[in-house]
Amino acid sequence: MAGAELANPCAQPGEAIKPHPYTCLPTELIIKILGIVGACWHGIKPPLAACALVSHTWNTLCRPHMFHTVTVYANTVLPRFSFLHFEAAHLCKYIRAVYFEAFAAARIVAKAEWFPECFARLTNLHKLRLFSCVDGPLPAASLAVFAAPQLRKLYIQGWQFAGVYDLLSMFPPTLEELQLESIKFDRPPDSVASRALELKAPRIPGVRLEALRNLEIYDGDESIFATPHLIECPNLARLFICWPGERMHLPPWLPASLPELVLSCVLHCVIPHFGALRPALVTLSMSSQETTPYLSFFTWARDCINCLPDPCAIRALTINVTNYNRIPEGLYPALSDYEMFSRFLCRLREREWHGGSCLQSITLRIKLPAGTLTASDTPDGVAARELAKLEKGFAPLVKDNVLNADLSPNHEPEGSAPLMHCSIRRRV
């Protein structure tokens, strides 16, 4: 059956049922509809399963959507992959993404000798997510199994490895996007000296990932940031580092040509060493759980920018401030805070870079503490007051049409005053 055929509703009792001439849908349209149905359901897709029973043609059209993404848990990983390996190997070609939830990967590797052969059949796998494998490091040979030949996106969270090079064995050369979160490495607590020697003389060379474009590291182990020549990624386009501690590090193996740098940290974090990086797109996201004046946020951002080898290379700058200070006198930025940061940005724009100013776009987002409106405040009144401060404090940047600014509270608790919001938008 090439299309969806519906019976003629005008047929008389006993008359042979024939398809209505205007109710046969083109196959291309059916494919589009099935794709929309598949995109609306996550995990098990009951509507697609029902559609797959209509005919052999519909079954063939539904399979790429039904088996596009496979999510396995610790209690389902064995039966799911056992079914694929022993009964339905022909379905492996449809799988594009696999999500291993907590402890699922460790369980399948430990209990199924046939898993490497099964996983190798996922020749079209493009996305792999691995969550929580912290009971202990897996053998290096087992880790290499996950380096699928066509893998494009790899996310690893909460995993423990025997060494940094065991992690590298999971990176195929086709990787375009890599996200590492809370990665830990085994090492004796008193092995500082031996670890330093190991970093100077690695056992094996690093990996070259020419296809890698986006790298995100959340709360990374120091080995990732201390091992030189760990990853060679000459075409890396974006680096995102989220660091919850007091000392932020950047990997020493980053290419100097990195276009975009995004740093997310707590305020008063030690500014990292930028090496030879000259990013054109810079985002600084800062937060503080302590009683912190807004001037401290702007001062840290200024100092961080000044530590870059060439601050004038920045074309677009984004500053995100999240303040949890609930002391009444520190709920809102002062006009003098804006003026200090505005003067710095104006001086940055006035510097010559290849014969002219490079900084053409500035975005400022400030998240105020929740519940900032008092009983005597009105959202419109506070918004007007804060907007006037923004416009006056950043007047030169507003005049030059380079500033976008947003000021709004964090998520308000239930029953609190309405949200207040004010903003400045660049003229198009």
Q: Positive or negative, the Cα torsion across 16, 18, 20, 21?
A: negative
Q: What are phi and psi of 320, to 5 degrees?
A: -115, 125
pLDDT score of 375:
62
d(CA 26, CA 5): 10
* pLDDT reported for residue 45: 64
Closest CA to 265 of 291, 225, 304: 304
CB neighbours of residue 228 within 10 Å: 11
Contacts of 316 (CB under 8 A, 6+ apart): 280, 281, 282, 359, 360, 361, 362, 363
Residue 124: which pLDDT band, with cuts at 50, 70 and 90? very high
Is residue 409 classed exposed, middle or buried when 0-12, 13-18 and 19+ CB atoms within 10 A define those classes? Answer: buried
Of the listed ranges 178-182, 335-339, 407-411, the one predicted with least confidence? 407-411
Report whether 382 contacts 333 (CB < 8 A). no
Q: Please, are residues 180 and 220 in contact by the beta-carbon 8 Å criterion?
A: yes
What are 282's strand-pairing partners? Answer: 261, 317
Digit-coded pLDDT (tens) for 127-173 = 999 998 766 677 777 788 898 889 999 999 988 888 888 888 899 99
Q: How confident is the model at residue 203 (pLDDT cuts 50, 70, 90)?
A: very low
Q: What is the pTM for the complete model shown?
A: 0.82
Mean pLDDT of 312-321: 95
pLDDT on residue 194:
41
Q: Count the neighbouring beta carbons within 10 Å of the beta carbon of residue 272.
A: 18
Q: Please give the share of the chain, as a percent, with pLDDT higher than 70.
A: 81
- Tell which phi-psi region holds residue 268, choosing left (phi > 0), alpha (psi between -120 and 50) or beta: left
Q: At what angle do helices 56-66 and 27-39 cross, to 10 degrees?
A: 40
Burial (0-12, 13-18, 19+ Cβ within 10 Å), 234: exposed
Rg (CA), the chain: 28
pLDDT value of residue 63: 83
Determine how β-strand 422-424 pairs with β-strand 403-409. Answer: antiparallel
10 Å CB burial of residue 226 (0-12, 13-18, 19+) is middle
User: Where do the structural domains in the chain lie, given as residue ranges?
Assistant: 1-7+25-66, 280-428
> What is the C-alpha to C-alpha distance for residues 395 and 83, in angstroms, rounded to an integer?
65
- Residue carrying the six token digits 């004796």: 188
Angstrom distance (rounded) from CA 263 to CA 277: 13
Q: What is the pLDDT of residues 98-107, one digit of tens each?
A: 999 988 988 8
What pLDDT was estimated at residue 199? 44
Residue 413: pLDDT band (50, 70, 90) is low
